[in-house]
Amino acid sequence: MNTLAYALLSFLARRPMSGYDLMLAIQPLWQAKHSQIYPLLAKLETEGHVDYVLVEQKDKPDKKVYSITESGHVALQDWLQQPSGDPIIRDEMVLKLYTLWLGDHASAKRVVEERIAYFRKRLQRLEVTLADVQDEHSEVLTEPDILSPVFTRLKLLERAITTARLELDWCFDFLKQIEQSEKKPR
């Protein structure tokens, strides 16, 4: 059982989904391709942590809708009690920022602007998602309940948005400093 397996169980604990749905839903929290998810779901099924029903569709291809089993719930609960692995960040752009001194002002600008574009896009996506969640679940705002699945989702969304804004601010500050040092060359 790896982390992705628990991630799948966690999503299935919220609602039954197909492997395709899971693949899309899981992206913000744990990047994974369908080629990793489908075999894992099959493995979780043989272990009895999930089961599925084949749902036939007319306009779209048939699908397997997976649900978490009692055994899966136990595994999830157990995982929650275990100590977690440290966060791992693989950010190629940060590595390039670290290497900027090798180049010139123009290439420095390009790297920072690429980063701005990325976080602008990300921030926009996050804000749309937040608005959607708030629309569909107005009750969470008036009566916050930690043990509701929507509350934790909202909290994580807010956190992601604050972080993205911070990253953008940092980039703008950096850009300004680059432009200032361009004006007064040594």
Partner DNA sequence: CCTGTCATGTAAACGGTTACATGATTCC
Partner DNA sequence: GGAATCATGTAACCGTTTACATGACAGG
Applying CB under 8 A, which residues contact a second copy?
3, 6-7, 10, 13, 29-31, 73, 76-77, 79-81, 83-105, 107-108, 110-111, 114, 118, 144-149, 151-153, 155-156, 159, 162-163, 166-167, 170, 174, 177-178, 181, 186
Query: Cα–Cα distance between 133 and 155 in angstroms, integer?
Result: 11
DSSP 82: S
Task: Please tell me whether residue 64 binds DNA under the rule CB under 7 A.
Answer: yes
Phi-psi group of 33: left, alpha or beta (phi > 0 → left; psi -120 to 50 → alpha; rest → beta)? beta
Q: Which residue has the tokens 């969640």?
A: 133
Among 35, 81, 84, 180, which residue interacts with DNA (rule: CB under 7 A)?
35
Q: How many residues bind DNA (CB under 7 A)?
A: 27
Binding residue for DNA, selected from 46, 57, 81, 180, defined by CB under 7 A: 57
Q: Which is nearer to DNA, 55 or 80 (CB)?
A: 55
Q: Are 185 and 143 in contact (CB under 8 A)?
A: no
Radius of gyration of the chain (CA): 21
Which amino acid does the sequence have at 26?
I
80 binds, among DNA, a second copy, none (CB under 5 to 8 A by kind): a second copy
Binds DNA by CB under 7 A, chosen from 13, 25, 42, 168:
42
Q: What φ, ψ does residue 7 adopt, rounded to 5°?
A: -60, -45
**Per the structure block, which two tokens stand in for 79?**
């995982």
Q: Which does 39 bind (CB under 5 to 8 A by kind): a second copy, DNA, none?
A: DNA
Q: Which does 137 bind (CB under 5 to 8 A by kind): DNA, a second copy, none?
A: none
Q: Does 2 bind DNA (CB under 7 A)?
A: yes
SS3 91: coil
Cα–Cα distance between 144 and 127 in angstroms, integer? 20
Residues lying near DNA in the complex (CB under 7 A) are found at 2-4, 18-21, 24, 31-36, 38-39, 41-42, 57, 59-64, 88, 90
